[in-house]
Amino acid sequence: MKRMLAAAGFVFALVGFAQVAAAETTTAHQPGAVASAAAPADLPVHRGKFWFHSDCITAGQQGVDRGHWSQYQCAEGWMWNLWTDR
């Protein structure tokens, strides 16, 4: 029983570490993505809230790729908030 609990704890720790590493690498590769607590004045349009940082980054980059906006930011709050320039 103790081995099962230890294995489950290890799996949860590994998943948490993988999510943090993915978030850090995603932000590093996305030039328009900046994480901070509040949206700057030049990104006035709130586009939505996301449970996961990766979903916010994906939506922001898809908007850039499709020409809907040129800059975006995923700001951390209770959920991840996507802010854009237009």
Q: Would you list the domain boundaries of the chain?
A: 2-84
- The pair of structure tokens assigned to 34 is 């900046």
Q: Which residue has the tokens 């994480």?
A: 35
Q: What is the pLDDT of residues 18-75, one digit of tens each?
A: 454 444 444 444 555 554 556 567 899 999 999 999 999 999 999 999 999 999 999 9
Put residue 72 in one of left, alpha, beta given phi > 0 → left and psi -120 to 50 → alpha: beta
- The pair of structure tokens assigned to 41 is 């004045």
Integer Rg of the chain from CA? 16
Q: What is the pLDDT of residues 65-82, one digit of tens each?
A: 999 999 999 999 999 999
Give me the mean pLDDT over the 4-13 stretch: 52
- Return the higher-pLDDT residue of 4 and 24: 4
Amino acid at 55: D
- State whether the Cα torsion 67-34-11-49 is positive or negative: negative
